[in-house]
Structure 1
Amino acid sequence: MALLMGGTIIGAEFFLSGCKTTSNKVEDLFGTEDVSFFNEVGDVIIPETNTPGAKATNVGGFMAIMVRDCYKPEDQKIFLTAKNNIDKAAQKQFDKDFLACDMKQRTAVLNTLDTEQKEYNKHKDKKAPNHYFRMVKELTLLGYFTSKPGCTQALRYVAIPGKFEGDVPYKKGDRAWATR
């Protein structure tokens, strides 16, 4: 499941080549301010409802480690532009930095960036670099749904599954399975 999910989200090349550490410390690429910023961005993408939001799982810290250990240097450079680009988009829309915006404004900024990245990916050449917001969004989803709260509270979870059941009843609105 992880290979299929990871191959879809990050790319098969990532899993085939493996993670490579280019630096010894997360702080070489990300400061604590950056991790906090990406926790806030993640919390707009996956807000707290009856389950914990992305910030509760520290997706910012997850992003920092994944970018440091698993991204190629060219993708690292693009990802590192995300914070400034998100702030610029917020400045353009609301004349203030992203963190100074309320939740409704933050959502509007990220929706604009999501539309931008979808359009970019529709027309991009295969050799063109990835869009920074797509990377942020993918890492938010991967970090959240592979975390303990995301896996056990947002999804249905069976720690030790029993026999294989190929036909499990599913009603509209049920959570997806984290195991089985």
Structure 2
Amino acid sequence: MNRRDIIKSSALFLGYAVSTATLSEAFMACSQEAKLDWKPTFLTNNQAASIAEIAETILPKTKTPGAKELGVPQFIDKMLKDLLSEEEQKDFVGGLEKLEEDCEKAYGKSFVECTPEQRKEFLTKLDAEAEKLPPSVWGIRLAPPSPTPFFRRVKELTLLGYFTSQKIGKEVLGYDPIPGKYIACMPLTLGMNAWNE
């Protein structure tokens, strides 16, 4: 073996070593789990990060706390694990995966990586496209029930978690603990809070 063959072989070996390291880093970057400050019990870290951003886009922080600040993503994760049937859980995860695919097609990145404006635009479009609820009379549906679309389910769980939180119940909504006195004709003033009983 001469010097030229040794140089070619070592260059080829070095190329393989660098390529392998680069490719493995690229694959690792694609499959890394999102970092959360809580541990999901049902969702994966990436799914939980997406749900957190969806909830925060639906109810962002303004003068009142946002969904993430109140632990709404944790609430949704717990509800998915403890309340939904296996079929509903599969539908939910499938809906979340479809949302991510559609977001990837629309913006070329995952929902979590999108800007707040892109997230809002994307969810507004989903909300407009969501199937409307069948009409009902006195709470009785006039049409046979259909499966709840993914976005409507996320929105319902987000609102439920937000408005049943203790902080919102006591600090944002008017709070009069039960048993409160009954006032048949109560004077209303401009800017008065809605009541939470």
Call closer, same or farther: CA 1:69–1:165 in 2, change over 3 Å: same
Residue 68 of structure 2: which of 55, 70, 90 is its match? 55
The farther-off stretch of 85-94 and 127-136 is: 85-94
Gaps of 5+ in 2: 1-38, 136-142
Cα displacement (A) at 1:64: 1.2
Higher strand share: 2
Query: 1:97-116 CA deviation, whole Å, 9 max, x = no partner?
Result: 11111111101111111112
**In 2 relative to 1, CA 171–46 (structure 1 residues): closer, same or farther, beyond 3 Å?**
farther
* Number of residue-to-residue matches in the alignment: 152
Could you list the runs of 4 or more consecutive aligned residues of structure 1 that deviate by over 4 angstroms after TM superposition?
Answer: none
CA distance change for structure 1 residues 128 and 103 in 2, over 3 Å: closer, same or farther?
same
Are the structure 2 counterparts of residues 103 and 162 from structure 1 closer, same or farther at C-alpha, using a change threshold of 3 Å? same
1:88 aligned partner:
101
Q: CA offset at residue 164 of structure 1?
A: 1.5
Quote the Cα distance in structure 2 between the aligned partners of 1:101 and 1:178: 35
Q: TM-score, normalised by structure 2?
A: 0.67
Q: Which has the higher helix share?
A: 1
Give the 3-state SS of the residue equivalent to 1:81 in structure 2. Answer: helix
Question: Aligned residues: percent identity?
Answer: 35
Unpaired runs of 5+ in structure 1? 1-24
- Alignment-mate amino acid for residue 87 of structure 2: E
Give distance in 1, aligned partners of 2:157 and 2:40.
16
1:147 aligns with 2:165: yes
Higher relative contact order (CA 8 A, sep 6+): 1
1:26-37 superposed matches below 5 A: 27=41, 29-37=42-50
Question: What is the alpha-carbon root mean square deviation over aligned residues?
Answer: 2.5
